[in-house]
Amino acid sequence: AYVAEPTGTSKGGVVVVQEIFGVNSHIREVADGYAAAGYLAVAPATFHRVKPGVELGYTEADMKAGFELKTAVEALPAPGVLQDLQAAIDYAGKAGKVGIVGYCWGGLLTWRAACELDGLAAAAPYYGGGMTSPEESARKPRVPVMAHFGNKDHWIPLDTIEAFEKAHPEVEVHVYACGH
């Protein structure tokens, strides 16, 4: 995991869940931003169980490699990567209340964490690929969730976002005029 420590007294902890590109410079910058705002930020390497040290860019080849790694992680026997997210939550908990935020596949993992893991105070998935599927939508969050989507996202159709929102009136859903 990449850990970014705040200077001074911590306001709490934030788990930052990567996209399919690993804990790359972008995810480290996001974690650093939370640390600069006073939070202990932990970005777990969610590919580590299938391939350590993954740090991809955003090319077509990187996207293909990341998707293959995501598929391999999703195929792990339960609890799979959720145990790594739980470890990150537990570590961040030394700073106080813990929130979790994730992007794309990390948004899906953030949703799952909000529904299954302990020690969270809130969750914010961004364009969580797959979280609006009927299987994922059947989950029930255990903490407050604020979900973010784009109405022009070619990976997450608007009708599935609307169905998710209808199934989860307790979730604060924001839909923006944008793509993925």
**Is 48 an active-site residue?**
no
Structure tokens at 66: 């990341």
Task: Spot the catalytic one: 115, 148, 153, 168.
Answer: 153
CA angle 120, 126, 129 (to 5 degrees): 105
Task: Spot the catalytic one: 84, 104, 115, 148.
Answer: 104
Q: Strands 122-126 and 98-103: what pairing?
A: parallel
**Is 153 an active-site residue?**
yes
Determine if residue 72 is left, alpha or beta; phi over 0 gives left, psi from -120 to 50 gives alpha, anything else beta.
alpha
**Is 115 an active-site residue?**
no
Residue 8 CA: distances (Å) to CA of 40, 41, 42, 104: 11, 14, 17, 32
Task: Spot the catalytic one: 26, 32, 62, 180.
Answer: 180
- What is the separation of C-alpha 64 from the centre of its chain, rounded to a whole number of angstroms? 19
Structure tokens at 139: 């989950």
Q: Which residues are catalytic?
A: 104, 153, 180
